Amino acid sequence: MKIGVLGLQGAVEEHIKQITALGLEGITIKQPEQLQEIDGLILPGGESTTISRLIHRYGFTDPIKKFAKSKKPIFGTCAGMVLLAKELSGSEDSHLGLMDICVKRNAFGRQRDSFEAKLDVKGIADPFTAVFIRAPYVESAVTHVEILATYNEHIVAARQEHLLVSSFHPELTGDTRFLELFVSMVTEYKKELIIS
């Protein structure tokens, strides 16, 4: 199994390290053609406006949309969540617009720019220590979006079919369980490919 991490800006190397720690192949994606080599794609945290600009500049917009259409799993962490959202709170714009969620950027306010919290995550047995850095949250979601975790009643992790998002940075801890959730989605996708 090969997992790609969009390598235009942000916390790319940290994801690659976690992927490798699971014994999988992690590929830094710098060219749209590389998307054909991978089974799942991670859109990392960073600065969503910058990553979005680079996505357009390097011709990634349509290839990523095509990747999503083929039902290959995509995981957006933090800025990656902002990129996947169909709607951004208080803005007319959206970026890739693939997931039926409305996301509020920098949603936890200034004094809570950066913090850690122990969260109960659906599909993970014991609490998961989540690192939030100028994090967004899901302000609203349509019913077919599955809520995986909340913090102070705000949605901070969710799944819609082959799309997974987290407000926090699972790659910044030594705990690979959230990444394993994504890997299980990629495994599901590969099994379905074999059956169909």
CB of 104 to ligand GLN, least distance (A): 10
Strands 40-43 and 74-77: parallel
- Establish whether 192 is a catalytic residue: no
Judging by beta carbons within 10 Å of its beta carbon (0-12, 13-18, 19+), is residue 95 exposed, middle or buried?
Answer: buried
CB of 47 to ligand GLN, least distance (A): 5
**What span, in angstroms and rounded, lies between the C-alpha atoms of 156 and 132?**
10
Query: Is 134 marked as a binding-site residue?
Result: yes
Query: Is 166 marked as a binding-site residue?
Result: no
Stretch (H or E) spanning 150? strand 146-151
CB of 50 to ligand GLN, least distance (A): 8
Could you say which of 15, 87, 95, 171 is catalytic?
171
**What span, in angstroms and rounded, lies between the C-alpha atoms of 162 and 182?**
9
Could you say which of 15, 78, 87, 162 is catalytic?
78
CB 64 within 8 A of CB 29: no
CB of 1 to ligand GLN, least distance (A): 25
- Establish whether 171 is a catalytic residue: yes
Q: Which is nearer to ligand GLN, 55 or 82 (CB)?
A: 82
Percent of residues in the chain assigned helix, strand, coil, to nearest 5: 35, 30, 35
- Establish whether 78 is a catalytic residue: yes
Q: C-alpha angle with apex 136: 33 to 60, nearest 5 degrees?
A: 15
Residue ranges binding ligand GLN (CB under 6 A): 45-48, 78-79, 82, 105-106, 133-134, 136
Q: Which is nearer to ligand GLN, 30 or 134 (CB)?
A: 134
Query: Is 87 marked as a binding-site residue?
Result: no
Binding-site residues from annotation for L-glutamine: 46-48, 105, 133-134
